[in-house]
Amino acid sequence: MQKFDVSILGFGTVGAGVYKILTGNHDDIAHREDLDLRIRKILVRDFEHEPNLGLADMSYFTTDFSEIVSDPDTRIIVECIGGVEPARTYILKALDAGKTVVTSNKEVISKHWPEFEAAAKNTGAGLYMEATVGGGIPILKTIIDSMQANNIERIMGIINGTTNYILTNMAESGVSFSEALSQAQKLGYAEANPTADIEGFDATYKLSILSSMSFHAHMPVDVIYREGITRLSSEDFDFAKKLGYEIKLLAIGKKNGNNIEVRVHPTMLPKTHPLAAVRGVFNAIFVTGHAVGDIMLYGQGAGQMPTASAVVSDVIYACHSDGHHKYMTFRNEEKMTDEVNLVENFRCRYCIRVNVVDEPGTMAAISEVFAKHNVSLKDVLQLGAPDNGVSSRITFMTHEANEFDIRSALSDIGKLTCVHAIESMIRAEA
């Protein structure tokens, strides 16, 4: 039986979960995997503000990273600190020392993956990141180890549990965004500062990793279109329901030849789509391969034990590599390769709600602008506005149209004298 000493950086939610699995499930892992996995050291910031210190013997803990990276017995380092620094510095030093690194840190991977992989290749160390996307959902291993025969054409994912909880609450309870966010914070699903979640940054970090692996080309964070959920209103959900749709924050990637589009934004999905039924804090990733067709993986996308499960899976995977670690097969460089054509003028359906003057000719004027910009209308829903008798709301669902055509059309529609306001524009996928 092979023995591996593992050191953990950070002993918060995920780090403590990794410790629980490696110690509590030690014998079962040893029996199934023929591996003796032992905790060597645990790095903490200090000994005064760490709530989980009581879980382990104090002899494990250190505040000195050099004690871990210089330790010849530590073969695998698990990074659970989060954020960019000092995580980036620690990961680079570990890889430079030939230590295999397993991380759950999506932000630092999405922003510094190329330099980490270069350092890993230089020393022959391993770099593993399953827990960065989808928590306990084994999506990255599925792509790397189970879909090699496929050209992945599309990925669509609900990969942020906080926003999915908020949107589920808005859809089912009819509450406002601020009310749904407040409830998520009270339940511990949202941070006191929820910006990373509600503005789509967290999903963007994850999509960068997910799309890079799926499409075999590094897709940096800064090439991904990002839009959060803060502008959504209860009216959006009312109209979506009337049209037979659900609203989700989706991470979307599509590839056609060398053309790739990557975007994160609120999206309307038909109620019949599998992703439309994903409720609460759960995550799901929908993948289309040219040979296998559509598959979907569903599960808990965050939380202590689901995320720790993915981390420990990577630890076991690394141990079985026998020193022959897998690296990415694409050119993992800081900038997107010139071989990729980034599609910013992507095509999809659009749901547009306009507050207008309730008078003859209004519909014709708006329709004329849409036609001028090559936007074809699929459905139109008109309801009187509740505040007065001279305004009404018109909701347009388009056929597939180009993003730039929609933007130009809305700019011109907003200038019409019969239009009070463009209240909402939400993209839709089939």
pLDDT > 70? residue 103: yes
244-282 pLDDT, tens digit per residue, is 999 999 999 999 999 999 999 999 999 999 999 999 999
User: Do 289 and 390 sit in the same domain of this protein?
Assistant: no
> What is the Cα–Cα distance from 166 to 298, expressed in whole angstroms?
18
Domain membership of residue 416 (yes or no) is yes
Average pLDDT over residues 213-219: 97
Regarding whether 164 and 120 lie in a shared domain, the answer is no
**What local confidence, expressed as pLDDT, does residue 358 receive?**
87
3-state DSSP: the chain helix, strand, coil percent, rounded to 5?
A: 40, 30, 35
Residue 253 lies in a domain: yes
Q: Rounded CA gap, 215 and 287, in Å?
A: 12
- Count the domains in the chain: 3
Q: Residue 365 contacts by C-beta under 8 Å, 6 or more apart in sequence?
A: 416, 418
- In the predicted model, is pLDDT for residue 49 greater than 90? no
Which of 156, 168, 427, 140 minimizes the C-alpha distance to 282? 168
- CATH number of the domain residue 283 falls in: 3.30.360.10
Mean pLDDT score, 329-357: 94
Mean pLDDT over 388-399 rounds to 86
98-133 burial, b at 16+ Cβ within 10 Å, e below that, comes to ebbbbbbbbbbbbbbbbbbbebbeeeebbbbbbbbb
The verdict on 277 and 366 lying in the same domain is no
Q: How far, in whole angstroms, is CA 416 from its chain's centroid?
A: 38
- Is 213 inside any structural domain? yes
Residue 77 β-bridge partners: 7, 101
pLDDT of residue 388: 61
Instruction: State whether residue 272 is helix, strand or coil.
Output: coil
Over residues 301-317, mean pLDDT: 96
Q: Directed axis angle between helix 106-123 and helix 87-96, to 10°?
A: 20
Residues 6+ apart with CB under 8 A from 31: none
Model pLDDT, residue 386: 57
Residue 50's pLDDT is what? 85
Same domain for 380 and 297? no
Containing 42, the helix (H) or strand (E) segment is: strand 35-43
What pLDDT, on a 0 to 100 scale, did the predictor assign at position 349?
98
Same domain for 15 and 91, yes or no, is yes
- Residue 402's CATH number: 3.30.70.260
Query: What percent of the chain has pLDDT above 70?
Result: 99
Q: Mean pLDDT, to the nearest integer, of 227-247?
A: 95
Query: Which structure tokens are listed for 171?
Result: 């859809």
292 lies in the same domain as 175: yes
- Are residue 24 and residue 77 in the same domain, yes or no? yes
Distances (CA, A) of 189 to 181, 182, 308: 9, 10, 17
Q: pLDDT band for position 384 (50/70/90)?
A: low
Residue 15: which CATH number? 3.40.50.720
Contact 6, 21 (CB under 8 A): no
What's the confidence (pLDDT) of residue 389? 62
pLDDT in the model for residue 18 = 98
Are both 166 and 98 inside the same structural domain? no
408 is a domain residue = yes
Choice among 28-37, 191-200, 387-396 with the minimum mean pLDDT: 387-396
Note the pLDDT of residue 182.
Answer: 97
Give dist(CA 27, CA 175) in Å, integer. Answer: 48
Look at residue 110 and tell me if it is in a domain: yes
* 119-159 pLDDT tens trace: 999 999 999 999 999 999 999 999 999 999 999 999 999 99
CA 27 to CA 271: how far, in whole Å? 45
> How distant, in Å, are the alpha carbons of 212, 302, 343, 389 from that of 347?
21, 31, 9, 36
**How far is CA 202 from each of CA 106, 206, 280, 369, 419, rounded to the nearest angstrom?**
8, 6, 17, 36, 36
Shared domain for 24 and 90, answered yes or no, is: yes
Report yes or no on 329 lying in a domain: no
Residue with tokens 């720790």: 308
Helix (H, G, I), strand (E, B) or coil at 16: helix
Task: Check if the beta carbon of residue 159 is closer than 8 Å to that of residue 134.
Answer: yes
Q: Which of the 8 DSSP states describes residue 113? A: H
Average pLDDT score over the chain? 95
The reply to whether 186 and 69 lie within a common domain is no
Q: Which residues belong to the active site?
A: 206
Rounded mean pLDDT, 405-426 = 97
Domain-ending residue, one of 285, 301, 317: 301
Same domain, 173 and 123: no
Is position 328 within any domain?
no
Domain end among 301, 326, 361: 301
Q: Give the pLDDT score at 176.
A: 96
For 286, the domain range is: 159-301
Residues 114 and 195 both lie in one domain = no
For residue 140, tell me if it sits in a domain. Answer: no
Q: Are 283 and 134 in contact (CB under 8 A)?
A: yes
Instruction: Give mean pLDDT, residues 9-36.
Output: 97
